[in-house]
Chain A
Amino acid sequence: MSSEGTSTPPYVPPDHARFWLGTLTESADAGFVGADLRGIIITWNPGAERIFGYAPAEILGRPIGVLIPSDKQAEEAASLARIGAGETLRLETERLCKGGRRTPVSLTMAPVLNERGHAIGISVIARDMQRTFLINAENLRREAVLRSILDTVHEALIIIGDDGLIRSFSGTAERLFGYPSEEVIGHDVSVLVSEPHRERQVAYIARYLQTGERHIASIARVVAGQRKDGSTFPMELSVGEIALPGVRQFTVFIRDLSESQDRERRLAELRSELVHVSRLNDLGQMVSTLAHEVAQPLTSLANYLNGSRRLLTAGKAEAAEQALERAAEQASRATRIVQSLRDFVRRGETEKRSEDLRKTIEEASALAMLGIAHKLTLELRVSPDARQAVIDKVQIQQVLFNLIRNAAEAMTGDGMVSITVMRVGEMAEISVADTGPGLGEEVGARLFQPFVTSKPNGMGVGLSVCRTIVEAHGGQIWADPAPLQGALFKFTVPLPAGDSAKTD
């Protein structure tokens, strides 16, 4: 061996070596036990005393067999035979402590050889496994508790790694998604998310990893889940993080909103959040009240003007003058009504903010799909230059809810709803297309008027409310002839100011 690769061992005088060994032996946590060939204990360190409870005076000179439980005698005999043959053994077993208590130990047993290589006894290094055993038992207990919780709660639990791959899939999750756990573990979590949500889902996790911020963790989100058979259902996600040294995983609790047990309650909650039903009715009521209010001065105005024209034709200018004054009063009255309406809308403008259209649409679509029994595929494409729009999110979600719900209800069997967002000039154009039967010609022409409907139980208020909302945003709503089949609705909402100058 070359002298360059190894350092020369430092010289330790032979009488010093025992001091080193002595201190090591005295201070070790492990128990050091030496026995001669007859099995008589001849060394016993403080570590051994801590594990087995015997003081050196109580144990030195006694046979090592006092530490061996009766059912381990055969194992010990076999061990001794192998050590006698020169082998070093490592084994986990049990030993008896002072007073007869059994304790789990990990042992390293080796023959002690003299200068001629003859065995003169055995050395035993014993490590107390009591603590490890307790930790393991506690872990097993916790795991059992966790498993029973997971089997009991309605939520499905999945654990995903920071690479987006599924690590764990609870029994509830298996039933919910229709996948046995072995088919999804190791696969990307996006297989569980319906198409239009996939990109975003992955983006969430990526963003989380980059910034370390809990963008999703504290907020439950509603997205469309996808089962093995391709059908979709609304699910609510609650995401948490497991952060251990070297391990970063996410726990995702999934609540199936289509499950009848939760559905009614959750529907009620979500509806009150979005004020769907009440606001629809309020708006319908408001529109009808306003129509009446404005019609009154217009009626008077028309009557005064028509009479005045007749008077003027007959050359009675003086009589006409008085009527024209009254007409002007009625015009002012109409103006005041329009102004108060404008004030009302302006108050509403404080609610308008630049909102993420994808998120807005995803939330509305998840809600609109609640309770739709048949299999529906939802497709969402958002052009990169139309990601944001200045909207009252709740109101625009009402419009989306109406259009998507209409589409979903129009299709009695399997079908598809495609939502596309693209930029047209200064506006974001959102189109909602379905593969249903489409619009009848008669209905098509009067679509956005109140009380026009093709639905057996419809009120015919929905689309007129949609128009009111969209027009209050400065946009337009219309139905286009669908390219192939089904209905195609489009509406526009304004892009954020300054966004128009941007080019992608």
Chain B
Amino acid sequence: MQDDLQSAVGVIDDDPAVLDSFRFMLEVAGHRVLTFRSALEFLAHTSDLPCCLILDQQMPDLTGLELVARLRSDGIVLPILLVTAWPSPAIVTRAAELGIEGVLEKPPGEGDILSFAAAYL
């Protein structure tokens, strides 16, 4: 079980269709996928972390960047790819400050997603 989780890609997005499509695309590419509907749902699972995280920025309750800030302050480090429809300079700057691996504009390219997942398996 531990091994399974370690080799899984985590995806957090409040939109079920987006979440389902990421699961489908990544599974077809041969990845194990863990999906979460919100940042809070993910925080409840931090005892078993995925190998890397694809994270939506714009979500109710806790945004992607707010979640990363919380993880960092808790000392939790894992590779993160932030996806957002509106990559403003403020978002990009904040992402860099938090040490996020990459920021992608929605819709992200398949190659970018798969190479990210492959790099951190």
Chain A residues within CB distance 8 Å of chain B: 288, 291-304, 306-308, 310-311, 323, 326, 329-330, 333, 450-451
Contacts and interface: CB of A to CB of B under 8 A. Distances in A.
Contacts of B18: 296, 299-300, 303
B21 A304 contact: yes
B86 A291 contact: yes
Nearest to A323: B24
B47 to A, nearest CB: 28
Interface in B8-39: 15, 17-18, 20-22, 24-25, 27-29
B85 interface: yes
A450 B83 CA distance: 18
Given A292-B86, A296-B15, A451-B89, A304 B107 contact: no
B88 A299 contact: no
B83 A288 contact: no
Nearest to B24: A307
B17 A298 contact: no
B94 to A, nearest CB: 14
Contact of B106 (A298, A308, A330): A298
Contacts of A450: 88
Nearest to B19: A300
A295 B106 contact: yes
Contacts of B24: 303-304, 307, 323, 326
B108 interface: yes
Contacts of B83: 299
Given A295-B107, A296-B106, A310-B28, A303 B85 contact: no
B110 interface: yes
Contacts of A296: 15, 17-18, 85, 106
Contacts of B29: 307, 310
Given A326-B17, A326-B20, A299 B106 contact: yes
A361 to B, nearest CB: 32
B7 interface: no
Given A304-B24, A326-B24, 9 more contacts: A295-B106, A295-B107, A296-B15, A298-B107, A299-B106, A304-B21, A308-B28, A310-B29, A333-B17
Contacts of A333: 17
B37 to A, nearest CB: 14
Nearest to B114: A306
A311 B15 contact: no
Contacts of A302: 21, 107-110
Interface in B45-59: 58
Contacts of A300: 15, 17-18, 20-21
Instruction: Pick the most buried of A293, A294, A310, A311: most chain B CB atoms within 10 A of its CB.
Output: A310
A116 to B, nearest CB: 116
Interface string B37-80: 00000000000000000000010000000000000000000000
